[in-house]
A and B are shown apart, each in its own frame.
Chain A
Amino acid sequence: MSAIKFESVSKSYREVSIKNIFLKKATTGVKDLSFEIKEGETFGLLGLNGAGKTTTLKLILGLIRPDKGDVSLFGKTPPFDNILSRVGYLPEISYLYKNLTTRETLDFLSKLSGTKVSKDGFKKTLEFVGLDVSLEKKVFTFSKGMLQRLAVAQSIVHNPDMLIYDEPTSGLDPLGINEMRKLIETLKKSGKTIILSSHYISEVEKLCDRVGILVNGTLVKTVDSRQFSRPGELEGIFLKTVL
């Protein structure tokens, strides 16, 4: 069964110019995007900055609506409503509520996902992401690495079937990147569908079953992991595609 299906999806952003109120300047987000991701698959989205990776993820989550075409999530078209309880999202920059404690953050966000998790459940989630802190520690005291771990924790605390990760290693040190990679590998092995957006090719190469390459909002190529079985092969394909 397909977890995500895009059929000829286009999305552009319009900005009203102050100089001329009638002039609407449109920027392409994605253009005529069609692809399908199967349940249990790990799909990577590669592209340069502004290629449309985040727009694609926002369309999956229903944060923005397509101008044209259809997006479906587990067979349902927007509004996704309760189907979103099966999804965990890690934004590129996770602005967590700094005045809440670790427990409150996980409690707040898991309840919004429609799941009530026990204190033990929170502890297990934190253990899984390698965050060794008290549940009552306030978020504003966290380092960047700890914040990223808590952000991952909030994405899995309600045990979703699908994970959508936007640049999960952004801003992490090499050790943090390695740990994040291992974490995603474990989640992959547990059978979750993972959509990974990144501009770190090696990360995508190691983790994904299939990779879509976006150029200026268009999906120009989809490659299977068999096509990049040797290290560095994906980089060659990517560079050939975007240059």
Chain B
Amino acid sequence: MKTLTLSYYTLVENIRQKIFYVLILFGVVLLAAAGLLGVIGGEQKIRVLKDLAAFATESIALFSSIFISSTFIYSEIENKSIHMIFSRPVKKATYLIGRYLGILSSLSIMIIFMTLLGLLVVIVSGGKGELQDALNVLMTILKIAIITALALFFATITTSKITSMGFTFFFWMLGNFTMELDFLSRMANSFVLKVFSLFIYTIVPHLHKFSAQRPFGITEFLLIFLYSVIYVLLCMAASLLLFRKKEF
């Protein structure tokens, strides 16, 4: 119940933040630009439009996730509003999960809103929505679920907002190159490099598998969903282990 209260009010707080609207506005501008760029797509116009819209949605959601998740807990600790929460019978796990779900719901609303806008651009351009597009949206939400959990984890282990944002961004980048990391770990001659690349390959989220650029079936989607759930749970468990020791 308290988890729901925390997540609901996190969602309310987030969607009333000015930065949230600024990011959505930026996304709308990107979608409009996608509409213009789609014109040069020729026969592949709708495909180009869809890819550009998906890219705009994902980029805005990613930056919002990194920014909101990395700064939320810091701000609460810095301005001491966290005292109002932990002077009440609220467990640290309840707080973390509540905040996580609240941030994720606000970002999901943002993704759905931007997807609908993108779809509108596609329909106006003579295209139509497909099941694959819906799966792509779900993939983006799963990616953001992972990035949000990672950002919360880094927010609990680092001592500044910038470091936390930097680490999350770095992991996101590495997560898109996991195939290359895998290749490196298999091809490396040096034992140290092999172990190191294998270690990085294991801990970074395998985001390339979430790519919206290729078609995928329900089974693959379910496997990715399961992977995301496990990754998020591990991140949250690690965050909680560290957060439990935190004093305010």
Contact = CB atoms under 8 A, between A and B. Distances in A.
Given A65-B247, A99-B12, A108 B87 contact: no
Nearest first, the 9 closest Cβ-Cβ pairs linking A and B are: A89-B87, A99-B16, A95-B81, A95-B79, A84-B89, A64-B247, A111-B5, A112-B88, A61-B87
Nearest to A83: B89
A64 B245 CA distance: 10
Interface of B: 1-2, 5-6, 9, 12-13, 16-17, 79-81, 83-91, 247-248
Contacts of B89: 80-85, 112-114
A176 interface: no
22 contacts: A58-B248, A61-B86, A63-B83, A63-B247, A65-B247, A81-B91, A84-B89, A85-B89, A91-B80, A95-B79, A99-B12, A99-B17, A100-B12, A104-B12, A108-B9, A109-B84, A109-B88, A111-B2, A112-B2, A112-B85, A112-B88, A154-B84
Given A65-B247, A82-B89, A89 B12 contact: no
A81 B91 CA distance: 7
Contacts, number: 72
A94 interface: yes
Contact of B9 (A62, A95, A100, A164): A100
Nearest to B81: A95
A179 B152 CA distance: 42
A84 B88 contact: yes
Interface in A90-109: 91, 93-97, 99-100, 104, 108-109
Given A64-B247, A99-B16, A94 B9 contact: no
B176 to A, nearest CB: 34
A37 interface: no
B84 A94 contact: yes
A159 B248 CA distance: 25
Contacts of B80: 91, 93, 95
Given A81-B91, A99-B17, A100-B13, A112 B83 contact: no
A183 B19 CA distance: 39
Interface residues of A, number: 31
Contact of A63 (B5, B9, B248): B248
Contacts of A154: 84
Nearest to B159: A16
A87 interface: yes
Nearest to A108: B9
B90 A112 contact: yes
Contacts of B85: 112
B224 to A, nearest CB: 34
Interface string A190-206: 00000000000000000
A84 B88 CA distance: 5
A161 to B, nearest CB: 14
Which of A64, A96, A112 has the most chain B CB atoms inside 10 A of its CB? A112
B75 to A, nearest CB: 9
Nearest to A113: B88
Nearest to A101: B12
Contacts of B16: 99
A186 B201 CA distance: 63
Nearest to B8: A108
B13 to A, nearest CB: 5
Contacts of B88: 84-85, 109, 112-114
B245 to A, nearest CB: 9
A96 B16 CA distance: 15
A104 B9 contact: yes
Nearest to B75: A95
Contacts of A87: 87
B11 to A, nearest CB: 11
B2 A97 contact: no
A91 B17 contact: no
Contacts of A83: 89
Contacts of A64: 247-248
Nearest to B91: A81
Nearest to B80: A95
Nearest to B5: A111
A223 to B, nearest CB: 27
B87 A63 contact: yes
A61 B247 CA distance: 11
Given A96-B81, A104-B9, A113-B88, 8 more contacts: A61-B83, A61-B87, A84-B87, A84-B89, A94-B84, A108-B5, A113-B89, A114-B88
